[in-house]
Structure 1
Amino acid sequence: MPRRLPLYVERNYVKGKTYLSFRKGKGPRIRLPDDPSSVAFTEAYNAALTGQPAAPANGVTRAAPGSIAALVASYRKSSEYLSLRATSKQQYEHRIETIREDHGHRSVAGLNRERIVVGILQPFADRPGSALDTLKKLRILIRHAINIGWLKHDPSIGIKRPKIGKIRSWTDDEVAQFKARWPLGTKQRTAFHLFLNLGQRRSDVVRMAQTHITADQRIRIKQQKTGADLLVPLHRDTIAALAAFDMQHIVIITTEYGKPFTVDGFSGWMRDAITEAGLPMDAKPHGLRKAAGRMLAEAGATAKQIMAVLGHATLAEAQRYCDEADQAGLAQDAVTLLEGHKANRSTQTAPVSLGKRSNKRGES
């Protein structure tokens, strides 16, 4: 019978071998020495339990040469990783560390299509967003492996990207419903106009400050994702919302304690405001950026004009809004023509009034 292990210690079975690791809840998995009766095991266990770093015991914490863990360590030292913006690096790090924790023992050379699909992506079958992000980050690591000569080709070629639902634009009715719940002067209504009338992402709205607003009622925006510098005129509704809101801090939207929001905290706060307005779960904050693009296109703005407001990196992204608006307008015109065509097919004088039926439809 296997020896009973201390709290949070688990056995991992990989390729016929047994390894011991420490893992508390959903925290990181920490490799431990193989002999639970050894002094090295006790020291490593106590260090993991108290959250203190421990010296490597018998080399077990060192990434094996050619392993995914070693590849992650190499990528973290690369110029590609080091040149990432801080926010991008934070997003990369979360997923890459998960890959290292769960699959660091695997050989890079042993990666193939089946092992990636079954071993790495299958656990996220019920979370397509996580599966897609894992595949994206794994491909970054694979590209690095090719660059440093660990792989000759990309084993992920042919793997289809998991399908995830696209964030939709808010409808005009949903916009009106949110306004009805949150009147001018509320923090929620002010944030709503910064989203809708400026068409920016949450990472940009959360950092908007009074000092970014110019004397001629424009706002300077340096987009967090793209690094683009924008100067966007304030819509009259946004000006009215800012005038009605009691701004007591430099940053426009702050927590109840007057501190700037984190991006995730701001998202959660907006989610609560949307839910309280009675809107469905798929009415997301980012959907207001989509609504801004839609409304600009419906107002007749060109793709370049939409691009100037939303800050898209390519013209094709902005062109989609114009194409959707054109499709809706053309469809409406087509149905109007069809209705008029059917109306013109009826006779001007009813045949029964003359006592006989007309020989042809559409003739009087």
Structure 2
Amino acid sequence: MVKKHLRYVVEQKDRYGNVRLYFWKRPGPRIRLHGTFGSEDFMKQYGRCLAEATGAIAPRALEAAGGRHLIRPGSFRALCVSWFSSAEFRTSLNERTQYVRRRIIEQMLQEPVKPDAALLFADVPVAKFTSKAVRVLRDRKADTPEAANTRVKALRAVFAWAIEAGEAETNPARDIPYLRNGSDGFHTWSIDEVRQFFAHHSVGTKAHLALSLLLFTGVRRGDAVQLGRQMIRRHPDPWLHFTEQKGQRKKAKHREIPVLPQLMESIDAYEGGNLTFLVTEFGKPFTANGFGNWFRKRCNEAGLPHCTAHGVRKAGATIAADNGATEHQLMAIYGWESPKQAALYTRKANRRKLAGDAMHLIAPPARGTEEERTVITSEGDCSPVITSGRKAQ
């Protein structure tokens, strides 16, 4: 029973035949846990050991007064702690995603099940964590639909793992829908905004190269900071070879895209960089967040405070779709596995083209012009005739 409910807790008999409980995360040392199994003091010791061994829960949280952060066997918190320390969590998610998921989960754990209730979601037994609880947690972030949806996504992941690990029988978040978000997300750059940025940051500057990399490769900012000259092969034409950072731990996605002349011009004109094109003022590679903050300042300098690195990728997809790129061509450029994302751009482009081709059909003909109209003759036949805007004689 001990092994089933508390990870890394083992039983051993001493030389007198007494059963002792230890926290043992191999290859680390065994740590004696004193007191009655499941008691408040026992769980405090266990929580501290687990936090130190896995980093799943901040130690200061475990030491908070009132017992609000104790890990109770069979509770939702105990399940989350097990998930954080699992091989699936540590190997299938990159460090940034692990950090974000932990923060989302920790916030939900500390919320009461009802306003002013003493019971926290952390202490709800896994067997009683229903779809209603998921809806409550989701709807508390209804004012920010993206935040609400990330809660549902995180809960789905926790319970999907729990079912495979034998810690839960059902996934209460599986059928809970995401909230609709009326926003299109980050602002999509227009052609005029791209020209304005390039006019302010001329060829040969780091800012010009940064926008060129984002726009003419279609990569995310996390990939842009990894790109370097050694990734370009010129046999015979220059192609860029790299591996996407997103989802790399699950399934490495190798990309090959041609280097457009506009990008090659910007690369050849820039004298900075190292193993990566873009480096900080200290000569170190950017982090994705650090690059995003730096790029935002360059946008402000160009008089584009509403533009971000995120919106450049959307701009490239929009431009390509408007120029006739198909869904599968967009998938190849941007590394999308499903045509669902590409369809968002092609549908918009097709709607615009069809509207442009057909909009004139709404307007009545101008006076004095000739047009072909369908008229019904006295014999009941339908036939097209050429008429003018003048009244028939």
TM-score scaled by length of structure 2: 0.67
Whether 2:159 is the aligned partner of 1:137: answer: no
User: Separation in 1 of the partners of 2:101 and 2:224?
Assistant: 22
2:365 pairs with 306, 321, 342, which one?
A: 342
Aligned residues: 306
- After superposition, residues 96-175 of structure 1 pair within 5 angstroms as 96-100=105-109, 103-118=121-136, 120-121=137-138, 123-156=140-173, 159-164=176-181, 165-167=183-185, 168-175=187-194
Residue 272 (structure 2) pairs with residue 247 (structure 1):
yes
* Shift in alpha-carbon separation, 1:170–1:363, aligned structure 2, 3 A: farther
Per-residue CA deviation, residues 64-89 of structure 1 (Å, 9 max, x unaligned), is 11111210122234453243143443
Matched, 1:218 2:236: no
Match of 2:383 in 1: none
**Partner deviation per Cα, 1:31-66 (whole Å, 9 max, x = no partner):** xx989xxxx9xx9xxx9xxx9889999xx6762111
| Equivalent residue number for residue 312 of structure 1 | 336
Name stretches of at least 5 consecutive residues in structure 1 with no aligned partner.
Answer: 1-32, 349-357
Distance 1:85 1:156 in 2: 20
Partner SS for 1:131: helix
d(CA) in 2 for partners of 1:284, 1:309: 20
CA contact (8 A) 2:296 2:305 kept: no
What is the letter of the counterpart of residue 335 of structure 2? Answer: G
CA distance in 2, matches of 1:210, 1:192: 16
Matched, 1:65 2:73: yes
Residues 208-287 of structure 1: pairs in structure 2 closer than 5 A: 208-215=227-234, 216-226=237-247, 227-281=252-306, 283-287=307-311
Instruction: Report whether the alignment pairs 1:321 with 2:345.
Output: yes
Q: Deviations over 1:156-180 (max 9, x none)?
A: 3664423443334222222222222
Identity %: 30
CA–CA distance in 1 between the matches of 2:224 and 2:172?
39
SS in 2 for 1:70: helix
Against the structure 1 CA distance between its residues 328 and 73, is the aligned structure 2 distance closer, same or farther, given a 3 Å change threshold? same
Q: Does the aligned pair in 1 maintain the 2:110–2:122 contact within 8 Å?
A: yes
Deviation at 1:273, TM superposition (A): 1.7
RMSD of aligned Cα (Å): 3.6
- Which residue matches 2:26? none
> Offset at 1:106?
2.8
Q: Which piece of structure 1 moves more, 293-302 or 160-169?
A: 160-169
CA–CA separation in structure 1 for the residues paired with 2:297 and 2:130: 43
Q: CA deviation at 1:100?
A: 4.5
Show structure 2 runs of 5+ residues with no match: 1-38, 53-57, 112-120, 371-386
Name the SS for the 1:231 alignment partner: strand
> For residues 176 and 274 of structure 1, what CA distance do their matches in structure 2 show?
12
Secondary structure in 2 aligned to 1:230? strand
Matched, 1:195 2:203: no
- Paired position in structure 2 for 1:353: none
How far off its partner does 1:362 sit? 6.8
Q: Residue 343 of structure 2 aligns to a residue in which SS?
A: helix
Q: Which residue of 2 aligns with 1:18?
A: none
**3-state DSSP class of the match of 1:185?**
coil
- TM superposition shift of 1:154: 3.5
**1:218 aligned counterpart, secondary structure:** strand
Q: 1:298 to 1:362 in 2, by over 3 A?
A: farther
Q: 1-side partners of 2:388 and 2:322: how far apart?
A: 46
The equivalent residue for 1:95 is: 104
